[in-house]
Structure 1
Amino acid sequence: MLNAEIIQIEEIEKEETEYEMKEGMKSKLLEEAALERGINVNRLSFDTMILTLEGKELLFCDMNGPLSSAAMMRIVDDKYQARSLIKRERVSVPASTYLRIFEREEIKTFANEIGYPIVLKPNNLSRGQGVYTNIESDASLAYHLDKISELVGDDCERILIEKQFIGDDYRFFVVDGKVLAATKRARANVVGDGVHTVLQLIQAKNEQRALDRDLSHYLIPTERSKLGRLYREGRTLETVPDEGEQIIIRDESNIASGGEGIDYTDIVHDQFNEIAVKAIQSIPGFHYGGVDVIAENITHEPSENNYVVTEVEFSPGALSMFPWEGRPIDMTNPILDFYLKNLDKL
């Protein structure tokens, strides 16, 4: 598969079924699970449908139903507010604040107070857009604020400034007080064979990703502007890694940035599961969702200093259902079971 005729990433055609072009992936997965159980589904739009559970019609958007309120979504999507609630449960969160893009001096002052490196995160973008990590100086901060300003287009928008925690990124999926899946979100990477360049290894990996129903939408980019870590560490797309050498290509760890899920469900330390459940339950009425944790190693016992909960996710992607390594873990049927269990509350 490794040859000069493999086309560049921007030219690779995404393999999508006709259904998935019309309907969102999360919504489609829930629809499929419902139909398999004989549940009536009335599709309304790209991400919205009505499921009829035991004669009761319930409106869903993606995998979120009537017990997932708009007020809850607003709090969860506000990372700073959500962290303030999580912190009340004595769960570690990064030092952070919200400031508007034009408040350059205040941002710089806060960055120096908490100490570099820091992370910048826009408040109104998703899938890792505009998230900048490893900012280690005032000059780098100014440069990345300019980039966010250009991307967001409105300097009155707020951004999150937080202390960077060094570790691996994990996503927990919690339903009704129980962790159903724990997945490491590995950063985009390739493993050398001593023969092929980084570019060729990316292209070969993208051929594998293109065969996956979910990962086919999120191939590893090859534009230099998106490969900050690769070049920062002194490598290029023409570098030939040694056999067995792993090369981390990007700082971002989400799937949309070319990352990959590795199942840790059966080996995660029980106390990390407890932390994930606490994070979800810290939001009043929040029954199921994702919890993002950065930790040195979630198979070891957590301490005050070896992890942080960075955010909770109102509508997490189907990460555990399409792992790069490990067993797939269903998200849809536990959600249907939760609503069937709680029909009397609707």
Structure 2
Amino acid sequence: MWEFKKEDILKAEKLEADFKLKEGLKSKLLEEAAIKRGYEVERLGFDTMILILEGEKLLFRDMNGPFSSAAMMRIVDDKYRARKLIEGANVTVPKSMYLRIYEQDKIKAYANDIGYPIVLKPNNLSRGEGVFTNISDADDLEEHLDKIADLIADPYERILIEKQFSGDDYRFFVVDGEVKAASKRARANVVGDGKQTVLELINEKNEKRARDRDLKHFLIPTDKEKLGRLFREGRTLESIPKKDEHIIIRDESNIASGGEGIDFMETAHEAFKSIAVRAIQSIPGFHYGGVDIITNDITKEPNADDYVITEVEFSPGPMSMFHWEGKQRDMANPILDFYLENLDKL
């Protein structure tokens, strides 16, 4: 018979509570928007509810309702298969290959073929989990293959090997053929004051993040194993940056990795907005979602070589509603509007 220590049970309960808080926010935001507009809501669980819109009962998980099918979620969450569909929309995606973890000889050969630096990505994990960037040579690749094998455990699981594209990371939120938000996903960073250490600056910034409804769940980590960019550039947590010196701490740009959203809705070039819309529409029945684009200048009209679409998001986080800088851009009400306009098609 299994015996569980009290501290293990408490730890499990805390992990479950933290998970529910993180995952439930999208659902809560949609619920609040519906109630504010006078619609009834029946809460079923931390991320599921029934919205009653004009007498119709619609089941939602997070912000995904009846138009978001299970088949669509499966395809969109499969980075490689979604990318193949997106390519058909005449937009640029990274050179990539879909291989099983145990096929290390093929992985190494493909890396040599496309050239370093490369990126390794689990095919169906989220929030940047297990993503390794800036892999610079064969030895570095072998080391990170061991890391990703430890994380996933199943040697038959597929991973993406892709050519790294350097630039800034942007998230577009599209609803029914229209971009509702464009945000820069700034990497975890601090700005020096000439006095405090990097660690002190992180702690100071985390105090501010802790007061944010979304970011409080995603503080900048201080675990040295997660601060590769900081150490690669010759700094430590004890380093004291110069006044106004901008220090990038991590390579990952998502919010869950300590990043922050910056509003670019007004300054993003219309061509990029069109690219984001085409990416969403390339997947049959995909009416709203997120599109991640890497580019060096989001304000200028791009050529095919100036950007890549790294993935689309079935259930994007509410980053634009909690921008660190710039105007907040609503996600919940545009989704409500979409369903209200299309009730007769359900």
Q: TM-score range by the shorter chain?
A: over 0.9
Deviations 1:85-137 (A, max 9, x none): 11111100000011010000000011111110000001232211110000011
What pairs up with 1:305-316 in 2 under 5 angstroms? 305-316=305-316
Moved segments of 4+, more than 6 Å: none
Which deviates the most, 156-165 or 122-131?
A: 122-131
SS at match of 2:66: coil
Q: For the residues of structure 2 that align with 1:56 and 1:211, how far apart are their CA atoms? A: 37
Aligned pairs (5 A) from 1:272-311: 272-311=272-311
The amino acid across from 1:308 in the alignment is: V
Aligned partner of 1:41 in structure 2 is: 41
Is the contact between residue 73 and residue 314 of structure 1 (CA under 8 Å) also seen in structure 2?
yes
Paired residue total = 330
1:92-171 map, 5 Å? 92-171=92-171
Contact 2:78 2:124 in 1 (8 A): no
| Equivalent position SS for 2:242 | coil
RMSD over aligned Cα atoms:
1.4
Question: Where does 1:49-88 land on structure 2 (aligned, <5 Å)?
Answer: 49-88=49-88
Please give the alpha-carbon distance, in whole angstroms, between the structure 2 residues aligned to 1:296 and 1:81: 26
**Separation in 2 of the partners of 1:77 and 1:98?**
14
The equivalent of 1:217 in structure 2 is 217
SS of alignment partner, residue 33 of structure 1: helix
8 Å contact from structure 1 (residues 227, 249) kept in 2? yes
Matches within 5 A, 1:330-341: 330-341=330-341
Letter of the 1:266 partner, please give it.
E
Amino acid in structure 2 at the alignment position of 1:121: K
Mapping 1:255-274, distance limit 5 Å = 255-274=255-274
Q: Deviations over 1:290-339 (max 9, x none)?
A: 00000011111111111000100000000100000001111000000000
Look up the SS of the partner of 1:199 in the other structure: helix
Question: Does the 8 Å contact 2:192/2:245 carry over to 1?
Answer: yes
Give structure 1 stretches of 5+ with no counterpart. 1-13
Q: 1:178-216 CA distances to partner (integer Å, 9 max, x unpaired)? A: 001000000000001111110000000000100100000
Partner of 1:234: 234
Give the % identical residues: 70
Larger mean Cα displacement after TM superposition, 71-80 or 168-177: 71-80
For 1:300, the aligned partner's letter is K
Q: Counterpart of 2:27 in structure 1: which amino acid?
A: S
CA distance in structure 2 between the partners assigned to 1:338 and 1:86 by the alignment = 23
Return the offset for 1:80: 1.1
Secondary structure of 1:112 counterpart: helix
Change in Cα spacing, 1:51 to 1:92, as seen in structure 2 (3 Å) is same
Determine the structure 2 residue equivalent to 1:252.
252
Structure 2, unaligned stretches of length 5 or more?
Answer: 1-13
The one-letter amino acid of 2:163's match is K
Whether contact under 8 Å (1:228, 1:250) holds in the other structure is yes
Structure 1, 119-128 or 192-201: larger mean CA deviation? 119-128
Distance 2:334 2:172 in 1: 14
Judging changes above 3 Å, is the alpha-carbon distance between structure 1 residues 244 and 178 closer, same or farther for their aligned structure 2 residues? same
CA distance in 1, matches of 2:159, 2:130: 10
Deviations 1:248-284 (A, max 9, x none): 0000000000000000001110000000000000001
Q: Distance in 1 between matches of 2:218 and 2:74?
A: 27
Displacement of 1:22? 9.5
Q: In the superposition, relative to structure 1, how do residues 22 and 153 fare at CA in structure 2: closer, same or farther (>3 Å)?
A: closer
Following the alignment from structure 1 to structure 2, what is the Cα–Cα distance between the partners of residues 88 and 125?
24
269-278 or 116-125, which moves further after superposition? 116-125
Q: 1:23·1:45 contact (CA, 8 Å) conserved in 2?
A: no
Supply the distance in 2 between the matched residues of 1:143 and 1:155 (Cα, whole angstroms): 16
User: TM-score, length-normalised on structure 1?
Assistant: 0.93
CA pair 151-253 structure 1, distance change in 2 beyond 3 A: same
Pick closer, same or farther for the CA change 1:284–1:199 going to 2, 3 Å. same
- The residue number in structure 2 matching 1:323 is 323
For residue 7 of structure 2, what is the aligned residue in structure 1?
none
